[in-house]
Structure 1
């Protein structure tokens, strides 16, 4: 989508926010920590970035047809009960082969969909590569992840897929997350005792966070 095509999107997104009666923080917080940047975007003084736009459309289920053409419903219509449920998308991606700037995982075309009732509330199935979380998650196993929208609520000791910004070297990793004595920081820890040493990162460095809800073997899919 070209830059000039996005020029009018800010005021229209503001219409959505006001229709949902949400503050800037409530509306944009799940997509970015820089919520104050959206005042000039909503006022038409700045153009929203493509990746951020896609995240906001996904989170708030905003209709692209309405946003671009001002036609139809403001929101994407929920599927009816009669429609067939596709399942959760499976992406066979090795995190070590990608960079943060390329990480638009949930907007890529999945290899296929998985319909597994206990995990149907997840956002994606992903392959584990490496042994840092062995034996909890072995290399080649499939994990089911669900995005965390409120990063103030973290289940200490649970495993997460963590995606960071440049201040944490654009790290993308699966680790157990623990509380740090400094509330602005988090401790990332491998499950495998062979991988010693904790990694300390700032909460503000986390761009996206997914809790691991479960795992399956490939032959179960």
Structure 2
């Protein structure tokens, strides 16, 4: 098991800090697992399977492919979320709608490119394709995120993942980030999953649209 954790990190070009952050333990605890002085918990094992698409058979015995060919949808639920048995979530082309702001303001006039049907998700307002690698390896460019629109910055849960539209010199910047409290007054801190992207403090007044990421779908190219 310890060798296989190092193999996963090597394959994904991840440091111990990267891996520890994803599975929610300290670097020293991960080091102990990788050197055989501690065992991988069932919770950590499930995170590797669900978040990094690791093949559970390979993780357990070393047989088969390291990663599954297809990645299932992932949900990011709150205790207050109530699953909806069946819903049609509209998938939008953000470029075609000229950004999140007009999409959020007038969803009725925007034509979806398709609809997504996944049972037992919490209520979602829409879905868009991810652009960029700031949330890699949790999300990669081309994946789909399903979101619930928020109207008040005070409704956020610190540390959770959000879809945002930010005003930068009069232009809209759309991104998916973790939102954390900032030491700077009137700001929030945007944190990436990708350690090569630095954290950034952004003035709350520059956030033009905000949505909680409820689920994501990994898009794989099978050749």
Partner of 2:131: 129
* Secondary structure at 1:122 match in 2: coil
Higher helix proportion = 1
* Structure 1: distance between partners of 2:149 and 2:89: 13
Partner of 1:91: 92
Partner of 2:117: 115
Work out whether residues 168 and 205 of structure 1, in 8 Å CA contact, stay in contact via their aligned partners in 2. Answer: no
Shift of 1:165: 3.2
Structure 2: gaps (5+ residues) = 1-85
Q: Which runs of 4+ in 1 moved over 3 A?
A: 92-95, 97-101, 165-169
RMSD: 2.8
Report matched runs for 1:192-211 at 5 Å: 192-195=194-197, 197-211=198-212
Partner of 1:104: 103
* Secondary structure at 2:152 match in 1: coil
Partner of 1:148: 150
Residues 116-125 or 178-187, more deviating = 116-125
> TM-score with structure 2 length normalisation?
0.51
Shift of 1:169: 4.6
Shift of 1:100: 6.9
Between Structure 1 and Structure 2, how many residues are aligned? Answer: 132
Going from structure 1 to structure 2, the CA distance change for 1:169 and 1:200 (only over 3 Å counts) comes to: farther
1:83-124 Cα offsets, whole Å, 9 max, x none, are xx76110113359x95677x4363420012222233351111
* Structure 2: distance between partners of 1:119 and 1:149: 21
Match status 1:217 vs 2:222: no
* Structure 2: distance between partners of 1:146 and 1:138: 20
* Structure 2: distance between partners of 1:184 and 1:203: 6
Structure 1: gaps (5+ residues) = 1-84
Work out whether residues 100 and 209 of structure 2, in 8 Å CA contact, stay in contact via their aligned partners in 1. Answer: no
* Structure 2: distance between partners of 1:86 and 1:157: 27
> TM-score with structure 1 length normalisation?
0.51
